[in-house]
Amino acid sequence: MRSITTGIFVVLLAACASAYVDQRHHSPNFEGDVFKNTNPVKFLSFWEMFRASFESEVEPAVWPEWVETKDDRSPFKRVNGSNTRITFINHATFLIQSGGFNILTDPVFSERTSPFSFVGPKRVHKPGITLENLPPIDVIIISHDHYDHLDLKSIEALVKRDNPNIYMGLGVGERLSGAGQFIELDWWESSKVADNFQLWFLDVQHFSGRWLTDRNSTLWGGFLLAINGQKIYFGGDSGYADHYKRTFDRFGPVDIAFLPIGAYAPREFFKAVHMDPMEAVQAHTELQASLSIGMHYGAFQLTAEAISEPIELLEEAKKKANLKPSEFITLEIGQAYDVTSLPSNDGDNTGIKE
């Protein structure tokens, strides 16, 4: 179980920009110097999880040291018109190309999801697009500050090259040490990126922190992107809860949903913070997504399940829920997927309640 302990071990980076303005205390979700989930959740402390990891009867599966994958060495520079192109890079990192914008989700390109170069969860395959081969990035969205979602080295490289707008939850901007143009949002707050592009930061059930003493000091969440006449949901990292129903009540059916399906075992440790494939199918149903794409698996061994298990269990869950195979898919590393046939609302974001 030591691989699980390594996967959850995170450390604080203390450097921050002197010009940073802390807006956390203006949030109704911030109480006693920590953010709280909408529904009360009892999490194991680091020490409780560390102790339990040695007492658990669940032995972690053995992952391969390396998996050969393909990569897209010449991705489209832009995608204009009504099409949307999605390329799976790794874990929760996707390149979304829509409406002439290049959007990167939770960019992680480093070898390890760890504060150290010599220890911590190590990638078992190369990224589906290397940093060097990425097209110009206009927008980065960051769901939270865990190392497998906030890779500062990758962010710094992208800021230096492209200077994109970066969107994140309250408090996360302090982690960037002054790098880049970032906008922090509270749950349900929105930002207008362009005339045809607006995004919202959404409530999900999870937690944050990069060290033993800073748990929940920054805000975690998902995103709703209203772009090019489509509603795209990026779920970040989340346990199953009623926030999917609440998102549907606010925004109506979504066209594309990115939902986590991995890092869930053993369930007594991770159920509150990571969905399993059955729960991901339930979230897909509650969002009434036209298309869902699985993520958060297969790149870094963070938990006990086998590398292929999330995809296998997703296929079983789809059959049990009577979903069409094309409703909820997974992509190969480096695979570009063109979305051309989803219903469009002609850019008016129908169904969104302000």
Letter string b/e over residues 21-47, b meaning 16 or more CB atoms within 10 A of that residue's CB:
eeebeebebbeeebbebeeeeebbebe
pLDDT of 18? 45
pLDDT of 2? 41
What is the rounded CA–CA span in Å between residue 108 and residue 112? Answer: 9
pLDDT of 341? 64
pLDDT band at 152 (very low <50, low <70, confident <90, very high): very high
SS3 221: coil
Q: What is the mean pLDDT of the chain?
A: 90
pLDDT of 351? 60
Are 213 and 228 spatial neighbours (Cβ–Cβ below 8 Å)? no
pLDDT of 42? 84
Report pLDDT digits (tens) over 297-331: 999 999 999 999 999 999 999 999 999 999 999 99
What is the average pLDDT across 186-205?
98
Class of domain 2-13+24-339: alpha beta
Which residues, 6 or more positions from 24, have their beta carbon under 8 angstroms from its beta carbon? 30, 35, 170, 171, 218, 219
Distances (CA, A) of 109 to 82, 117, 156, 179, 218: 29, 13, 11, 17, 22
**Cα 331–75–334 angle (5° rounding)?**
25
What is the rounded CA–CA span in Å between residue 232 and residue 186? Answer: 19
Nearest to 331 by CA among 284, 251, 261, 265: 261
Nearest to 216 by CA among 9, 17, 6, 33: 33
**Cα 93–97–98 angle (5° rounding)?**
135
> In the chain, what are the domain boundaries?
2-13+24-339
Report pLDDT digits (tens) over 52-75: 666 677 899 999 999 999 999 999
Distances (CA, A) of 156 to 152, 159, 162: 6, 5, 10
pLDDT of 348? 47
What is the rounded CA–CA span in Å between residue 307 and residue 313? Answer: 11
Report pLDDT digits (tens) over 330-344: 999 999 999 986 554
What's the DSSP call for residue 175? G
Render 65-89 in DSSP notation, one character per residue.
Answer: S-------SS--S---TT-EEEEEE
**Cα 20–166–181 angle (5° rounding)?**
50
